[in-house]
Amino acid sequence: MTMLSLLSMRARIEAGSLTPAEAVALTRDAIAEHEPSIRAFVATDPDPHVPDTGPLSGIAVGIKDIIDTAHLPTQMGSSIYRDWQPRADAPIVARLKRLGAVPLAKTTTTAFAFIDPTETRNPRAPGRTPGGSSAGSAAAVAAGMLPLALGTQTGGSVIRPAAYCGVVGVKPSFRLLPTVGVKCFSWTLDTLGLFAASAADAAHALALIAGRPEIDQPATVPRIGLLIPDYCEAAEPEALEALDRARAIAEAAGAGIRAFTLPDEFRHAFDEHATIQDFESAQALAWEYETHRDSLPPLLRAHLDTSRTIEAAAYDAARRVAHHARRSLRDILRNSDLDVLLTVSAPGRAPEGYASTGDSRFNRLWTMMGVPCVTVPVPGEGPPLGVQVIARFGDDARALVAAKFLEKAFTDRP
């Protein structure tokens, strides 16, 4: 399976060797070939409108199925919303259309973006989970069925499946992209993100979608803080080996790298992610729980049973911890001589089997901090492994510049 490059497709369109309609037809052919075994989609547009103009004309996009689309059902991964048809596009979908992109398909999501697995399979690691909850978007890009797909992250649902499927995933700074029209799980944490074949593709797409051209900059040599997390259970040896391999390649390419550690307060902040997420999810899904509890999948149902017992005082205390940790991280990074942090994207390779979507423990803290994160696949044998680039809040450009540097260093390695 060869992944589709957004930039390559756009270059061919601009050169006149490929029309936008032909570009979309290529993706539809790839879907016809691979979708029966990957199962990344819940709906596709049988007769898509393909604009002839726009900076993303000819680019077919996958839309995670918790994001409203006026032309396709939005079913939340749940029988409760089977065949539900919104009247309007979410702003993020409307923005894609204005840019000339084609929202071609709805990608699978775990029910309400929690952790009950989907039917999607991992194109790059057969027999292993593609992750969650944006499994369909990650798998669709990994299988070469789409050049771009949208996902969301409340814990680790962009970075983790991207790492498991061997693609680039971007979780932008909190609120860079609008979550209006996206089914809420936690309004403090939910963040829209992107999946693409390369960091260059992702940077170009994010700059256009966000309307911030400064995000897409050429790769430069970064100053990197190497973070081996100690605020939670340790990563598996293979993940740490991939991180060390990335470090060695980056150093050989000229990057300055030094060890970086977080103060103990971040261990406490990490622990409070669950309090915030769980308290808010009980309210966000109150109607579904109270009127359709028996239709909820087992893991989500049990989660909401427990989440409804969290008291407001505990939630308020957790929010204060998160607020102080965000300010502390801002100051730490501002006063350092570092451009980005480099750490693991996931505990290890995608777990075998389909009973679990994996573990988001190396993503949750950064989601709560609201900072931009990019995962880049690390070269090596076996199922995919990735490393995670983290920058200061609002400095999405720096995160993507460093990701481009790593990507090129990995490609150019001896």
Question: 243: how many CB neighbours lie within 10 A of its CB?
Answer: 23
Task: Provide CB contacts within 8 A for 394, sequence distance 6+.
Answer: 173, 372
For CA atoms 31, 33, 34, 40, the dihedral sign is positive
Task: Provide CB contacts within 8 A for 43, sequence distance 6+.
Answer: 65, 72, 73, 75, 105, 106
Strand 373-377: give its sheet, edge to edge: 41-44, 102-107, 60-64, 148-153, 191-196, 168-171, 373-377, 386-390, 340-344, 223-227, 256-260
Q: Which helix H or strand E contains 332, and what residues bound it?
A: helix 312-334
Q: Is there a catalytic annotation at residue 157?
A: yes
Tokens of 321: 């911890």
In a 13 Å sphere around the CA of 159, the CA atoms on its Cβ side amount to 32
Cβ(370)–Cβ(166) below 8 Å: no
| Active-site choice (57, 78, 137, 157) | 157
Q: Is there a catalytic annotation at residue 404?
A: no
| Active-site choice (57, 133, 137, 173) | 133
| Active-site choice (57, 64, 137, 345) | 64
Task: Provide CB contacts within 8 A for 244, sequence distance 6+.
Answer: none
- Catalytic residue numbers read 64, 133, 157
